[in-house]
């Protein structure tokens, strides 16, 4: 099936932006709260070896893993968003990353919420937006 080039470009740019936003999120939140973030993955992992790996390897070295994750996300975003010859490699890397992430996570993950599967998607998205606390001083807001 052939897809219109404009539609393909828009979709690819959207995917690139998702990786860029992921890198920003991981820089702002995960780097400071790695234990909680990765602990949620360990709690909801589909495979027992994945839970053990996350608890015993990832969580004790969360800053290293978060730095690697951010670097990877930025490289994928750059490869896709530059619209150059590396777009397809960025897309393939994204697919491989997501397949790997599926092994160590669950579709029901939400920060600090073990019962996220029973909640609506907007509710789970609100959890993600609510965990990034705004820095009022940096925004120029006086309390």
Q: What is the DSSP letter of 55?
A: I
| pTM of model > 0.85 | no
- Picking from 58, 52, 39, 53, the residue whose alpha carbon sits closest to that of residue 114 is 39
Q: What is the pLDDT of residue 10?
A: 87
Q: What is the pLDDT of residue 42?
A: 76
In the chain, domain spans: 5-130
Q: What is the pLDDT of residue 138?
A: 46
Residues in CB range of 115: below 8 A, 6 or more apart: none
Cite the beta strand spans of the chain per DSSP E: none
Express each pLDDT in 16-63 by its tens digit: 999 999 999 999 988 888 888 888 777 777 777 888 888 899 899 999
pLDDT of 103 higher than 60:
yes
Express each pLDDT in 64-102 by its tens digit: 999 999 999 999 999 999 988 888 898 889 888 888 777
Q: What is the pLDDT of residue 142?
A: 55
Residues in CB range of 110: below 8 A, 6 or more apart: 40, 116, 119, 124, 127, 128
């Amino acid at each position: 099936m052939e897809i219109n080039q404009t539609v393909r470009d828009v979709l690819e740019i959207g995917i690139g932006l998702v990786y860029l936003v992921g890198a920003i999120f991981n820089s702002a939140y995960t780097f400071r709260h790695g234990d909680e973030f990765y602990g949620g993955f360990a709690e909801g992992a589909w495979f027992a070896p994945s839970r053990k790996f996350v608890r015993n390897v990832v969580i004790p070295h969360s800053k290293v893993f978060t730095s690697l994750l951010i670097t990877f996300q930025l490289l994928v975003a750059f490869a896709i968003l530059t619209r150059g010859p590396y777009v397809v490699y960025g897309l393939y890397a994204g697919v491989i990353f997501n397949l790997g992430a599926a092994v160590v996570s669950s579709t029901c993950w939400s920060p600090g919420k073990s019962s996220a599967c029973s909640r609506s998607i907007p509710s789970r998205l609100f959890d993600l937006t609510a965990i990034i606390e705004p820095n009022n001083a940096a925004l120029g807001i006086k309390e």
